[in-house]
Amino acid sequence: EYTEADTYTVTLTVTDNDGRIGMATDTVTIGPAMINFASNRDGDYDIYRMKADGSDQAVVLNTADDELFPDLLRGTRDKIAYAAEDGTTWNIWKMTVAGLSNTKLTTQTASQQIEPSWSYTGAKIAYASNAAQTPSATTWEIWTMNADGTGQATLTTQSPSWAIAPAYSPIDNDIVFVSDKNASGGSSIWKWDSATATATELYDSTGRDGDVSSAGYPATLGTALNLPPNAGISKPAWSPDGSKIAFSTDQSGNIDIYVMDSDGTNAETLEDYVNGLLASPVTAGTITSSDDEFCPYWLEDGSGMAFVRKDGTNSFNLYFVSFADGSVTKLTTTGDNLSPASRR
């Protein structure tokens, strides 16, 4: 797999049943890393994209309603799943990365379907739904469906507790998600093991873990998300090789991003994690600041992480931390911006 932005010469070699060999060459151009995200800079929330340095920002999907939670199909990187509201409910849609060929996958009229996540093969999409509606605050569960919208079924059974914020592993069909079941501080991180078809608690601090985001944000939606009380919009994020999980937590008082091993051990702040990669650590507070930070997303090339930071001006912008030198770059400056998802 080519990950660096460049033009490559690709050679295809084919051997037939008689042992004869045929060869053909072609050139393949890999563009720079891109980040898809949601922004309300034009009034409602729409899907945008930009380069990883914040340049070339452009709208991908702009409708009269709100669109949130874009998630890119890894591997082929040609499709985006997202949640959209129609004035009464939220449902899951998918589209091409160019914003074309939009397809509505769920058609609920009395419940909310949000936070889609592609499986690593692209065959499945996990999402959070309160379709049971009895009551909505405690009937949120993780659901899955086929990529064409068929086969919609409940995956978890956390009730009377809730479950939201699913994230498929990039290497298998395991899913991490957030639930208040048995949580010490309001929410904890769980893992659905695809091999055993069981859910187990992965990480639980004394704070809220996994979903926590700034209170009341986002507040300008046409249709309320109807999330469980005190639940936020942040989601856990896997590293490209599936060995690490990034997540938001308020265990230290502020809302910060932490990184842990995929088995729930060795949790540390994002700043401590990055410093462990560097020969010279960054100044304290450079990455893990006094502002709220949530919605982490590991870039697919492993070069760094995008995340949301609540600025001192009470606005929400996307930032990028480089794993090469620990530098932090502000990527957006207009409107509120959230839910980053990267692609090549």
How many Å apart are CA 230 and CA 213, to the nearest integer?
9
Query: What contacts 24+ positions apart, CB below 8 Å, involve 321-330?
Result: 321/270, 321/274, 321/287, 323/274, 323/277, 325/278, 326/274, 326/275, 326/278, 326/281, 326/282, 326/286, 326/287, 327/282, 328/286, 328/287, 329/53, 329/54, 330/54
Cα-based distances in Å from 251 to 186, 201, 210, 229, 304: 11, 17, 11, 18, 23
How many Å apart are CA 290 and CA 170, to the nearest integer?
31
Contact 212, 232 (CB under 8 A): yes
Contact 298, 285 (CB under 8 A): no
Domain boundaries, the chain: 33-343
Least confident of 3-7, 92-96, 169-173, 183-187: 3-7
Hunting for tokens 């395991």 — which residue is that?
174
> Encoding tokens for residue 237?
């994020």
Does the pLDDT of residue 29 top 50, yes or no?
no
DSSP per position, 55-109 = -S-EEEE--SS-EEEEEE-TTT--EEEEEEE-SS-EEEEEEETTS-S-EE----S
How many Å apart are CA 72 and CA 36, to the nearest integer?
8
pLDDT grade for 26, boundaries at 50, 70 and 90 = low
Does the pLDDT of residue 320 top 70, yes or no?
yes
Hunting for tokens 């509505």 — which residue is that?
104
341: three-class secondary structure by DSSP = strand
Among 220, 226, 252, CA closest to 316: 220
Element (H, E) at 332: none
**DSSP letter (8 states) at residue 282:** P
Taking the model in full, what pTM does it have? 0.90
pLDDT at 135: 55
Interval 132-158 mean pLDDT: 88
pLDDT at 33: 76
What angle is formed at CA 73 by the lines to CA 71 and CA 76, rounded to 5 degrees? 150
Query: What contacts 24+ positions apart, CB below 8 Å, involve 143-151?
Result: 143/113, 145/92, 145/105, 145/106, 147/94, 147/118, 147/122, 147/123, 148/103, 148/105, 149/92, 149/103, 149/104, 149/105, 149/106
Contact 323, 277 (CB under 8 A): yes
Radius of gyration, CA atoms only, the chain: 20
pLDDT at 4: 55
Provide CB contacts within 8 A for 192, sequence distance 6+.
Answer: 142, 155, 156, 174, 175, 176, 177, 198, 199
- What percent of the chain is modeled with pLDDT above 90? 76
* 33-343 carries CATH number 3.40.50.1360: no
How many Å apart are CA 289 and CA 282, to the nearest integer?
12
Interval 311-339 mean pLDDT: 94
Residue 136 has φ and ψ, to the nearest 5°, of: -65, -30
**DSSP letter (8 states) at residue 209:** B
What angle is formed at CA 29 by the lines to CA 96 and CA 339, rounded to 5 degrees? 40
How many Å apart are CA 221 and CA 131, to the nearest integer?
20
pLDDT in tens, 225-251: 989 888 999 999 999 999 999 999 999
